[in-house]
């Protein structure tokens, strides 16, 4: 059986779907695939949310930091980083 290759938007959409439905491991997989296609601060942020939901706080912190490196104005990532670092 041939595996279907998804586009960047497909990976993002699926990642967001899984994140909203608290299926964090699936969300992580899809956001990681999306990041292989394009390094985007919002993707790092969303991946951080998925890691945080999966109780992987060190990975979440790393993703929020990467999001802020690419976009220092991303206040959501800054807030999440503060919340899990305290």
Residue where the block lists tokens 């990976």: 11
Q: Which CATH fold would you assign to the domain 8-85?
A: 1.25.40
* Per-domain boundaries in the chain: 8-85
Q: Please write the tens of the pLDDT for every residue from 22-72.
A: 999 999 999 999 999 999 999 999 999 999 999 999 999 999 999 999 999
Q: What is the pLDDT of residue 1?
A: 54
Instruction: State pTM to two decimals.
Output: 0.92
| Model confidence band, residue 2 (pLDDT cutoffs 50, 70, 90) | low
What is the number of other CB atoms lying within 10 angstroms of the CB of residue 64?
29
- Asked whether residue 3 carries a pLDDT value surpassing 80, the answer given is no
Give the integer Cα–Cα distance in Å for 39 and 66. Answer: 10
Give the integer Cα–Cα distance in Å for 27 and 19. Answer: 5
List for the chain the helix, strand, coil content (%; round to 5).
75, 0, 25
Q: Which two tokens stand for residue 40?
A: 């985007």
């Amino acid at each position: 059986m041939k595996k279907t290759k998804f586009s960047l938007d497909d990976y993002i959409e699926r990642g967001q779907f899984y994140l909203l439905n608290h299926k964090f491991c699936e969300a992580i997989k899809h956001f990681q695939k999306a990041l292989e296609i394009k390094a985007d601060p919002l993707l790092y942020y969303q991946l951080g949310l998925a890691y945080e939901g999966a109780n992987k706080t060190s990975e979440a912190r790393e993703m929020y930091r990467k999001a802020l490196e690419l976009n220092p104005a991303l206040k959501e990532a800054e807030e999440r980083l503060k919340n899990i670092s305290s």
